[in-house]
């Protein structure tokens, strides 16, 4: 009974995964009449040290790390705040729960296009019109996606907007499982709101918080769609300030027809995902123990 | 709701007053989450304009449906692709991946969780290993390996049917079902197939619902793989098409936003109809996982 799923996984995950390790050692190109030549670890050495290539790759790696370092704590904290906000069953709360979850059903390619209009440069963008209007013109128009300073931040904002509701729902389910007696006992002990949050709520949802953070870390390392749409479909995104590792892999394969280098980038990407997940798991389990 | 509030003596006027800041916080955050969606809908109804329109799109007196008819007429030739075909491709791919995935992955999970066979331990270990390989890490080698299958429907479907995460979610659900149930059925002469289809699968509706929802959301928004594999406008799924449509010069933003509304509308309808399942399904699978 396991045969269909196992053979599909072999064909579309295991074989390509092993192949990527193989390809990364060769000079592989699509439609090249010559046989690929063996290069050993040259692709890896180049993406890490060759000044023509490594600059872009290391930038991409840095952007991935900044993205994860901001998105993971901010999105998790925001999701927890939203979950606390919609936890109590008061009239109309269902509407708000749906409202915060709504962006989750938006494909990220569409999210990128909507935000491209909101963040457009000049007075055309919704955000710029709003800022000019509310500041009475003292705060001028910004090129949010084009400027080196704000490009990555813009991508972070739209990614959090889309992803936050998902984490909120998971944390809401965890919050609802915290026994009410604990809150009543805390109240008897005259704990104030903050003390109840620190001593009852946080310990009660700790495992879920760890899971959410881990999951968000892996997702944030995989970031690709929104950057590709904004950079390639006329979004005016500052490519140099936002490229990520997956973006590098796809451009190496697609635009430069360098499957060998793209495979090496994919292998490095996979190793980073594994190492960061292991570190994160170790840190969180140590805290628990 | 108002009645229960009035008839419930526990809710005092003081408590009602304390809810005002709570509702205010809900409303402000709700508006932040709603604003980009509202902007998309408003821009899709606003008069056609090739420049971005900022705030003026909210002028209700100017609203009309011409952007929607505009999308239908601008996407109606073989060179641009046909609007109905983008939907047909996305629907076919999503329904096939969700439907076949539910069958194949739940069968595999059943075999792993409740049958004893040679190689079971190895298969289980392999699934757990595959769980940490993100699709992004194999996209590039797959792009090379399956290059002959570019611009086909099956290459959009087949790689996503077998899914280690789905197997894992089913597996953890199935291991929670008491063993005595299959034993009783086996005494009555039922084989593993009958036990699975007639007893275990019907008992596991929550697991099926949450896996279906997660797969549906991921597949409906799928972007990276179509970017690599699909260039034929007659085989493009919706998320890829909207990025192509938005990148055209000059961009017709009203039509792009109308296309965006059409792209997300089926998901929102599914979301509203299955709201309870949607949120509970996502929450329960994640809290378990």
- Report pLDDT digits (tens) over B57-78: 888 888 889 999 999 998 988 8
Q: Read off the pLDDT of each residue in A255-266 and give the average, rounded to a whole number.
A: 93
Range in A241-250, B88-97, B178-187 the model is least confident about: B178-187
Range in A137-146, A191-200, A223-232, A248-257 the model is least confident about: A137-146
Is pLDDT above 80 for B105? yes
Is pLDDT above 50 for B108? yes
Q: Which residues of B touch A117 (CB under 8 A)?
A: 39, 43, 52, 253, 257
Identify the pLDDT of residue B53: 66
Nearest to A174 by CA among A148, A143, A210: A210
Work out the minimum CA distance from B277 to partner chain A, whole angstroms: 12
Identify the pLDDT of residue B90: 97
Using an 8 Å Cβ cutoff, are A216 and A71 in contact? yes
A128 vs B: CB within 8 A: yes
Using an 8 Å Cβ cutoff, are B36 and A104 in contact? no
Q: Which residues of B touch A64 (CB under 8 A)?
A: none
What whole-number percentage of chain B has pLDDT above 90? 53
A107 vs B: CB within 8 A: yes
Q: Read off the pLDDT of each residue in B111-129 and give the average, rounded to a whole number.
A: 90
Nearest to A102 among B26, B29, B33 (CB): B33
Contact B33 A100 (CB under 8 A): yes
Percentage helix, strand, coil, to 5, in chain B?
A: 75, 0, 25
Q: Is A65 exposed, middle or buried (0-12, 13-18, 19+ CB in 10 A)?
A: middle
Tens-place pLDDT, residues B29-45: 999 999 999 999 999 99
Distance in angstroms (rounded) separating the CA atoms of residues B188 and B202: 18
Give the A window 49-78 contacts with B, CB below 8 Å.
none
Q: Which residue has the higher pLDDT, A76 or A1?
A: A76
Work out the minimum CA distance from B35 to partner chain A, whole angstroms: 10
Q: Which residues of B touch A99 (CB under 8 A)?
A: 30, 33-34
Identify the pLDDT of residue B6: 46
Identify the pLDDT of residue A246: 93
Identify the pLDDT of residue A154: 96
Residue of A nearest to B22 (CA): A85
Q: Read off the pLDDT of each residue in B225-231 and give the average, rounded to a whole number.
A: 95
Q: Read off the pLDDT of each residue in B76-81 and give the average, rounded to a whole number.
A: 87
Q: Is A193 exposed, middle or buried (0-12, 13-18, 19+ CB in 10 A)?
A: exposed
Identify the pLDDT of residue B186: 87
Q: Which residues of A touch B54 (CB under 8 A)?
A: 123-126, 128-129
Tens-place pLDDT, residues B193-208: 999 999 999 998 888 9
CB pairs under 8 A between A and B: 277
Across all residues in chain A, what is the average pLDDT?
90
Nearest to B263 among A91, A110, A249 (CB): A110
- Angle (CA) A189-A193-A195 rounded to 5° is 60
Contact A13 B133 (CB under 8 A): yes
pLDDT band at A250 (very low <50, low <70, confident <90, very high): very high
Range in A13-27, A132-146, A256-270, B242-256 the model is least confident about: A132-146
Nearest to B221 among A108, A169, A211 (CB): A108
**Whole-angstrom distance between the N-terminal and C-terminal Cα of chain A?**
39
Is pLDDT above 50 for B1? no
Q: Which residues of A touch B22 (CB under 8 A)?
A: 85, 88, 90
pLDDT band at B10 (very low <50, low <70, confident <90, very high): low
Q: Which residue has the higher pLDDT, A172 or A33?
A: A172
Is pLDDT above 80 for B11? no
Identify the pLDDT of residue B3: 43
The radius of gyration of chain A from alpha carbons, rounded to an integer in Å, stands at 23
Distance in angstroms (rounded) separating the CA atoms of residues B280 and B48: 40
Identify the pLDDT of residue B7: 47
Give the A window 207-246 contacts with B, CB below 8 Å.
208, 211-212, 215, 218, 221-222, 224-225, 228-229, 232-234, 246
Identify the pLDDT of residue B2: 43
Phi-psi region of A78 (alpha: psi -120 to 50; beta: other; left: phi over 0): alpha
Give the B window 197-216 contacts with A, CB below 8 Å.
none
Task: State ipTM.
Answer: 0.90
Give the B window 65-124 contacts with A, CB below 8 Å.
104-105, 107-108, 110-112, 115, 123
Q: Which residues of A touch B206 (CB under 8 A)?
A: none
Q: Which two tokens stand for residue B119?
A: 């190689």
Identify the pLDDT of residue A192: 87
Q: Which residue has the higher pLDDT, A136 or B151?
A: B151
A2 vs B: CB within 8 A: yes
Identify the pLDDT of residue B9: 53
Contact A8 B134 (CB under 8 A): no
Identify the pLDDT of residue B151: 96
Tens-place pLDDT, residues A52-111: 888 999 999 999 999 999 999 999 999 999 999 999 888 889 889 989 999 999 999 999
pLDDT band at B8 (very low <50, low <70, confident <90, very high): low
Nearest to B43 among A5, A97, A117 (CB): A117
Nearest to B26 among A96, A262, A273 (CB): A96
Best probe of the A interface among B96, B131, B137, B275, by most A CBs < 10 A, is B137
Work out the minimum CA distance from A270 to partner chain B, whole angstroms: 6
B20 vs A: CB within 8 A: no
Q: Read off the pLDDT of each residue in A130-157 and give the average, rounded to a whole number.
A: 89
Range in A234-238, B83-87, B169-173 the model is least confident about: A234-238
Q: Which residues of B touch A109 (CB under 8 A)?
A: 221, 223, 239-240, 242-243
Host H or E run for residue B87: helix B83-114
Work out the minimum CA distance from B231 to partner chain A, whole angstroms: 12
Q: Spell out the domains of chain A, with CATH numbers in brackets.
A: 3-106+158-224+236-288 (1.10.3720.10)
Work out the minimum CA distance from B140 to partner chain A, whole angstroms: 6
pLDDT band at B289 (very low <50, low <70, confident <90, very high): very low
Contact A126 B289 (CB under 8 A): no
Residue of B nearest to A277 (CA): B132
Nearest to B162 among A8, A16, A95 (CB): A8
Identify the pLDDT of residue B285: 63
Range in A118-132, A252-266, B156-170 the model is least confident about: A118-132
Identify the pLDDT of residue A234: 78
Is B255 in a helix, a strand, or coil? helix
Q: Spell out the domains of chain B, with CATH numbers in brackets.
A: 2-64 (no CATH), 77-288 (1.10.3720.10)
Residue of B nearest to A230 (CA): B243
Distance in angstroms (rounded) separating the CA atoms of residues B48 and A156: 30
Identify the pLDDT of residue B85: 95
Q: Which residue has the higher pLDDT, B287 or B233?
A: B233
């Amino acid at each position: 009974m396991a045969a269909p799923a196992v053979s599909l996984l072999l064909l579309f995950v295991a074989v390509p995964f092993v192949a990527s390790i193989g390809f990364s050692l060769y000079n592989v190109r699509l439609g090249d009449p010559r046989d690929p030549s063996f290069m050993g670890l040259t692709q890896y050495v180049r993406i890490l040290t060759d000044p023509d290539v490594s600059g872009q790759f290391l930038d991409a790696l840095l952007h991935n790390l900044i993205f994860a370092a901001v998105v993971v704590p901010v999105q998790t904290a925001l999701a927890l705040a939203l979950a606390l906000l919609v936890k109590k069953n008061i009239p109309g709360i269902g509407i708000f729960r749906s409202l915060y979850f709504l962006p989750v059903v938006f494909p990220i390619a569409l999210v990128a296009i909507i935000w491209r209009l909101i963040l457009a440069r000049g007075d055309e963008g919704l955000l710029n019109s709003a800022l000019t209007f509310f500041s009475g013109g003292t705060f001028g128009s910004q090129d949010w996606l084009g400027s080196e300073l704000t490009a990555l931040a813009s991508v972070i904002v739209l990614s959090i907007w889309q992803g936050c509701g998902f984490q909120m729902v998971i944390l809401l389910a965890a919050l609802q499982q915290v026994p009410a007696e604990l809150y009543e006992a805390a109240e008897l002990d005259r704990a104030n709101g903050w003390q109840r949050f620190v001593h009852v709520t946080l310990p009660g949802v700790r495992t879920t918080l760890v899971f959410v953070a881990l999951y968000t870390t892996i997702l944030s390392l995989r970031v690709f769609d929104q950057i590709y749409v904004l950079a390639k479909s006329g979004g005016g995104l500052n490519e140099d300030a936002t490229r990520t590792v997956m973006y590098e892999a796809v451009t190496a394969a697609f635009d430069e027809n360098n499957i060998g280098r793209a495979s090496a980038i994919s292998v490095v990407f996979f190793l980073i995902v594994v190492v960061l997940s292991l570190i994160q798991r170790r840190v969180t389990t140590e805290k628990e123990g | 709701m108002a009645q229960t509030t009035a008839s419930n003596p526990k809710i005092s006027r003081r408590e009602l007053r304390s809810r005002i800041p709570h509702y205010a916080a809900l409303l402000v955050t709700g508006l932040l989450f709603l604003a980009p969606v509202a902007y998309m809908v408003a821009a899709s109804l606003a008069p056609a304009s090739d420049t971005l329109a900022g705030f003026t799109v909210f002028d209700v007196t100017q609203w009309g449906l011409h952007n929607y008819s505009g999308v239908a007429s601008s996407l109606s030739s073989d060179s641009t692709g046909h609007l109905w075909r983008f939907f047909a491709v996305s629907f076919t791919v999503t329904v096939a991946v969700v439907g076949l995935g539910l069958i194949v992955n739940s069968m595999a999970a059943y075999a792993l969780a409740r049958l004893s066979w040679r190689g079971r331990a190895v298969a289980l270990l392999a699934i757990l290993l595959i769980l940490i390989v993100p699709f992004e890490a194999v996209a590039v080698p797959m792009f090379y390996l399956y290059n002959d299958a570019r611009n086909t429907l099956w290459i959009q479907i087949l790689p996503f049917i077998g899914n280690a995460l789905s197997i894992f979610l089913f597996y953890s659900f199935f291991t929670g079902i008491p063993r005595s149930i299959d034993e009783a059925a086996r005494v009555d002469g039922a084989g593993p197939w009958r036990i699975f289809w007639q007893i275990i699968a019907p008992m596991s509706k929550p697991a099926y619902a949450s896996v279906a929802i997660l797969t549906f959301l991921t597949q409906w928004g799928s972007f990276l793989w179509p970017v690599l594999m699909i260039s034929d406008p007659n085989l493009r799924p919706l998320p890829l098409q909207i990025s192509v449509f938005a990148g055209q010069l000059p961009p017709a933003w009203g039509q792009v936003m109308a296309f965006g509304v059409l792209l997300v509308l089926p998901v929102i309808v599914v979301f509203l109809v299955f709201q309870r399942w949607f949120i509970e399904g996502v929450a329960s699978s994640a809290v378990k996982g």
